[in-house]
Amino acid sequence: MVRLFLNRKAFIGRSKATPATTIMVGVALVLATTLAVASKRPKQTMAAPLPPDLLLDGGRKLSFERSFSLEREVKPKRSFWTRVVDVIAGQPDFHYLVSPYSVVTDLKGRIIVTDVAAAGVHIFDFAQQKYKFISRRDAGKDPMLTPQCAAVDAQDNIYVTDSQTGKVFVFDASGKFRRTIGSLKGGEGYFKRPTGIAVDSAAQRIYVTDTLRNKIYVMDMQGSVLQTIGKTGTADGEFNFPTELRLHGSELAVVDAMNFRVQVFDRSGAFHYAIGKPGDGAGWIFRPKGIGFDSEDHLYVVDGQWGMVQVFDHEGRLLYYFGQRGTGPGDFQLPTGLQIDSHDRIYVVDSFNRRVEIFHYQGVAQAEKGRP
């Protein structure tokens, strides 16, 4: 590198370059040396070991894949000249998860995470190495203050509930704001505290839980209320602070938080069954948060208090659980949202650790496919 630097000086001298050019070339070469040396420095810390695969009945398996929390992780490889600019001007302010709450994936495989403390929505696109942050906190009209849960429709439009403003914000697939749902002319609100949301594109229906009213609102795509499901109580079909929603096949699953259970209805609101009971043992649900279904119709329930995800069959039998309180890979601290995509990848919002962790469930069909 010293020889190269001297040769460059000789060349610059022969070509009568300007002092500014000389300085720029010199700075670039010194930075190149610095970056090269820095890249060869041994790492001072060792990565925590990954949790082992969880081997299940019938050749099924659950594996930990990775976690993420930063915009920079979407495009980890930065060019040489980008790093040079970083050294001179300082690194840009990358977005990061502050207090993430819910997660959903769209048809493009993008991962959409609501962030209560950041008052916005993160869109991580690892396939295209792109990132976008949606925020309307400073908007003069219809500011989004406390984004809670998110859903997408068949066109990848994004629907976000705001528990503080009592509205649902709708963005197109590129993140551009389109409209709000939940306020009538004159400022009245449909919702006291909207939280969970699900969109049935085929039937042109939007389902929203109103946690304080103990109801589910069923609306058309314009936001007109068609019916409500539930009322306050502890009986079947009644709620005590309902939160998350999930559509799966012909069923609608609802987290009935303070009744410590998940209730399952058909899409018209007829009660089918309930899973869970209060307690602190395996199979009991103490602080249910996010829910989801895998390709084998198993129900996954995040328990925020115990830092785990429990998996049940339709009869309410506990099949297995994963996670524990902690900060290492596969651990959780106050987990909240959960999403399972079409490939049985499980995304869990690890809220207090400010990250999303990704697991992969391999069911019977996948296990048989992998056998010789």
CATH number of the CATH domain containing 226: 2.120.10.30
Of the chain, the percentage scoring pLDDT greater than 70 comes to 78
- The answer on 262 and 183 residing in a single domain is yes
Q: What is the DSSP string of 345-371?
A: EEEEEETTTTEEEEEEEE-HHHHHHT-
Q: What is the DSSP string of 178-225?
A: EEEESB-TTS-BS-SSEEEEEEETTTTEEEEEETTTTEEEEE-TT--E
More confidently predicted of 32 and 101: 101
- The answer on 155 and 25 residing in a single domain is no
Per the domain annotation, does 48 fall within a domain?
no
The structural domain count of the chain equals 2
Give dist(CA 245, CA 352) in Å, integer. 22
- The answer on 301 and 158 residing in a single domain is yes
Compute the Cα dihedral for 177, 183, 189, 195 and give only its sign. Answer: negative
Mean pLDDT computed over 282-308: 94
Model pTM score: 0.84
- The answer on 198 and 121 residing in a single domain is yes
> Does position 100 have pLDDT exceeding 70, yes or no?
yes
Mean pLDDT computed over 310-321: 94
DSSP state at residue 96: B
Per the domain annotation, does 268 fall within a domain?
yes
Mean pLDDT computed over 13-31: 45
pLDDT at 42: 41
- The answer on 91 and 30 residing in a single domain is no
On whether the CB atoms of residues 194 and 206 are closer than 8 A, the answer is no
Give me the amino acid identity at 332: F
Per the domain annotation, does 49 fall within a domain?
no
pLDDT at 184: 65
User: Which ranges of the chain would DSSP assign to H, the alpha helix?
Assistant: 2-15, 19-40, 80-89, 364-369
Nearest in space to 361 (alpha carbons), one of 307, 294, 313: 294
Per the domain annotation, does 296 fall within a domain?
yes
Mean pLDDT computed over 300-312: 96
- The answer on 60 and 27 residing in a single domain is no
At 43-91, the pLDDT tens digits run 444 678 899 999 999 999 999 999 999 999 998 765 555 555 455 544 5
pLDDT-derived band at 304 (thresholds 50, 70, 90) equals very high
Per the domain annotation, does 350 fall within a domain?
yes
- The answer on 131 and 235 residing in a single domain is yes
- The answer on 293 and 177 residing in a single domain is yes
Task: State the first-to-last Cα distance of the chain, in angstroms, to the nearest integer.
Answer: 53
Residue burial 216-240, b: 16+ Cβ < 10 Å; e: rest: bbbbebebeeeeebbeeeeeebbbe
Residue 302 neighbours by CB under 8 Å, 6+ apart: 288, 289, 290, 291, 308, 309, 335, 336, 337, 338, 348
Per the domain annotation, does 138 fall within a domain?
yes
Q: Which domain holds residue 30?
A: 2-40
> Does position 28 have pLDDT exceeding 70, yes or no?
no
At 167-195, the pLDDT tens digits run 999 999 999 999 999 876 555 567 999 99
Q: What are phi and psi of 225, to 5 degrees?
A: -75, 125
- The answer on 69 and 22 residing in a single domain is no
- The answer on 230 and 95 residing in a single domain is yes
Mean pLDDT computed over 135-139: 94
Per the domain annotation, does 355 fall within a domain?
yes
Nearest in space to 152 (alpha carbons), one of 204, 216, 200, 191: 200
pLDDT at 24: 46
The SS3 call for residue 246 is strand
Per the domain annotation, does 203 fall within a domain?
yes
- The answer on 309 and 207 residing in a single domain is yes
Mean predicted lDDT score pLDDT of the chain? 85
pLDDT at 107: 97
- The answer on 195 and 67 residing in a single domain is yes
Mean pLDDT computed over 330-355: 98
